Amino acid sequence: MSRLDSKVVAITGASSGIGAATALELAARGAAVVLGARRTDRLHSLVARIRAEGGRAEMLEVDVTKRADLEQLVALAVNRFGRLDVLVGNAGVARTAPMADLDVDDWDVMIDVNLRGVLHGIAAALPVFRNQGHGHLITTVSTSGLKTVPTQAVYAGTKNAVRTLLEALRQESTDGVLRTTSISPGFVRTELVDYIDDPEQREQAQHAMAALGISPDAVARAIAFAIEQPDDVEIGDMTIRPARQG
């Protein structure tokens, strides 16, 4: 029996990429998954697939920039399954450009989704975790926060901010109630780079993703590994990247 059989896991950014792969992986291992994203058509298809394969799944339209949406996602998990064991904060956006371009609107989007969205999830889940005596926050960060490169300053900044706040939260939570895990994927075959505005940069990123990218399933397995550890074991930080990535 998998240690995931009794787990209830909410996932943001669940409609594609790492989020969808994680939903499928965890549900296949016996977890009940509560999926949030903006693209509800994809969520409907994903939930239908999980249920058809014998899994348990619920869904909710979620925009992580709206605090109330995260509160409703957590409430859905508690109301439907009696509790929430894990919140996987996976929603994220990437916009790349030199700082001198002053793409302030894009900066705001990345701050709102990548950083504020994580904070909204923490604010929604932490009271539930404290009340029930256990909980686990898993957040998708990025290797961009480990190796900063030109055109990714703000994106990497938001990811490093999340890494910092999770470490601080960990140090504030050594009573055994809360576990925190940062997952830093490298090149993973997802839609993340498809929304880069500059056509040349988008093409370069897509080429690198196609040439080097690993399957989102690899990250999903890492997330499952972190969750499956005994309650007194915390996997604090994991980097998952292609073996050929520099």
Check if 155 is active-site: yes
Q: Enumerate the β-bridge partners of residue 185.
A: 240
Does residue 234 contact residue 35 with C-beta atoms inside 8 Å? no
Q: Enumerate the β-bridge partners of residue 138.
A: 88, 181
What gap in Å lies between CA 18 and CA 13, rounded to an integer? 8
Q: Among 135, 117, 136, which residue's Cα sits nearest to residue 67?
A: 117
Q: Calculate ∠ Cα 159-160-166, nearest 5°.
A: 95
Helices and strands counted in the chain (H then E)? 8, 7
CB neighbours of residue 164 within 10 Å: 12
Catalytic residue among 96, 155, 214, 234: 155
**11: left (phi > 0), else alpha (psi -120 to 50), else beta?**
beta
Task: Classify residue 123 by its DSSP letter.
Answer: H
Supply 55's token pair: 């899994």
Q: Which residues are catalytic?
A: 155
